[in-house]
Structure 1
């Protein structure tokens, strides 16, 4: 008797969510390390005034938007959107061979931002340990 193959979508969705959480935790750990070593950090944005207590206002940042669209992390702030958000969902973390992986490592951690493109107005240097979107976030 042939048993139909069950879709793996629920498993993949769960695995993707776990990978996204792991990448987010890595970002938070990196931010904590930067603070501990004297790195510059931005003050956290106040949650949106219209958000009810306990609610979340989530923005979606696509890592590939920095290429043709020229939409940088800085634009979240300069557009006024940052003041309305409580969270930013970074797209995308991938699952490769059952492990979390970056979708575009160059955009995420390697790309050097110019002073004009950066959130704090300081250009990335060739020797800093973290560059790209993750550093800007």
Structure 2
């Protein structure tokens, strides 16, 4: 069985190798894709249905019923913003649906602080071979499939 992982934001999808952070570009935390947001203030949505396993203003992990855990990181080094500019809409332990708003944020504000707004979307604790059906690099709307993961 496989789960479809959707884009958390509107923007441009591309490979993790293009992310300016070796933790993501070298897939140290896991394989996936990256999405560069295409606008200002808006919601980052759940890429899959499941339980909120980890929640920070700048990042969250959702664990699907089949066991796959998907990390969404809103920008690079955005932990340094200490939550400024991020509004949470869920709590750790909540059950969410794919496409449900998780965090409201402003990628242009993140960039104004000198950080990249790119959003790595990574499946934790799996080999790259567990992922498939990668979308072509290019424009993507929040909720549209990025790739699938075998659970």
Query: Is the structural similarity TM-score above 0.5?
Result: no
Q: TM-score, normalised by structure 1?
A: 0.26
Q: Which has the higher strand share?
A: 2
Q: Which has the larger radius of gyration?
A: 1
Q: TM-score, normalised by structure 2?
A: 0.24
The higher-RCO structure (CA 8 Å, 6+ apart) is 2
